Amino acid sequence: MVSLMIRLDKYLADSGYGTRSEVRSFLRIGEVTVNGEVVKDGARKIDPKCDIVARGGKAVEFSEFEYYMLHKPAGIITASRDKKEKTVIDLIDSKKRRDLFPVGRLDRDTEGLLLITNDGELSHRLLSPKKHIEKRYIALVSGVLPENIAEEFEKGIDIGDEKTTKPSTLRRLDSIEETDDPYIEENYERLAETFGSISIMDVGLTEGRYHEIKRMFEALGGKVEYLKRISMGALKLDKELSLGGYRKLTEEEVEILKRGTEEGI
Ligand code: URA
């Protein structure tokens, strides 16, 4: 296997030790050792697989990739950075890498599972419609919907784009308890009080167009009042995560996600 050599200053910055210029200043005063020897030159090439880098005698752990699962709350924008508004990346306090980004986009008012990483290749595969990775959502919908709505979703819906939507799945849930999610239940109760009747829909998409689910229901006479993503491929939103909470993916979860994009589950 080819080993990736990287500059010492980048190695330290990518490990969460500050900006490149912050890193350079503590390198200059001799705080960093490589394999036990003080190194002051940030341009020194490091092999993360075998070199041991330490700052103040403490080993620096390098992670090329980070993977987080976020339980996105409504009201936060899905972007890497923004001059005015808080983004989903700002919610990840423990991040080390500065190059994290959200995998795909959830609308500001959409809640639920959002994967955050700096692994561009995995992200690309998870989002590519060719890989058929299903993203599942629970939608609470007002309005009168057609009886054969599941067939319409399966056939593809004209939402005003050049092409109809790709075949998707839709299952109507009989009771809110089936979602097993207190946040969805809370919203359901609020909406049921306002609208009298609210449909609980489990939707599975393999593509991601702008406001896609909202536009699909709208094309059929409904209005999405609440939307939550509950899974992405084999990865399900962890029920232990409260709204706004996040955690690292386990190695096993990363493996399962990668495998899914190879086989196209
Ligand atoms: N479809 C939507 O309409 N909004 C989302 O946030 C995700 C899918």
Ligand 1 binding pocket includes 212 (Cβ within 6 Å) = yes
Residue 29: CB partners within 8 Å, gap ≥ 6? none
Whole-angstrom distance, CA of residue 235 vs CA of residue 127: 14
Q: Is the pLDDT of residue 215 over 90?
A: yes
Which residue's CA lies nearest to atom 3 of ligand 1? 211
Which of 70, 72, 78, 107 most suits a substitution to test ligand 1, by most atoms within 8 Å of the C-beta?
A: 107
229 close to 78: Cβ distance less than 8 angstroms: no
What is the whole-number distance in angstroms between the Cα of residue 110 and the centre of ligand 1? Answer: 7
What is the whole-number distance in angstroms between the Cα of residue 32 and the centre of ligand 1? Answer: 47
- Interval 220-234 mean pLDDT: 97
The ligand 1 atom nearest the CA atom of 224: 3
Residue 244: CB partners within 8 Å, gap ≥ 6? 71, 72, 73, 91
Whole-angstrom distance, CA of residue 35 vs CA of residue 176: 58
pLDDT tens digits, 136-166: 999 999 999 999 999 999 999 999 999 999 9
Percentage of the chain modeled with pLDDT above 70: 98
Structure pTM? 0.90
- Interval 28-54 mean pLDDT: 96
What is the whole-number distance in angstroms between the Cα of residue 213 and the centre of ligand 1? Answer: 5
What is the whole-number distance in angstroms between the Cα of residue 106 and the centre of ligand 1? Answer: 6
pLDDT tens digits, 87-106: 999 999 988 888 999 999 99
Enumerate the active-site residues.
107
Which residue's CA lies nearest to atom 4 of ligand 1? 211
The ligand 1 atom nearest the CA atom of 109: 6
- Interval 178-207 mean pLDDT: 97
* β 135-142/199-205 pair status: antiparallel
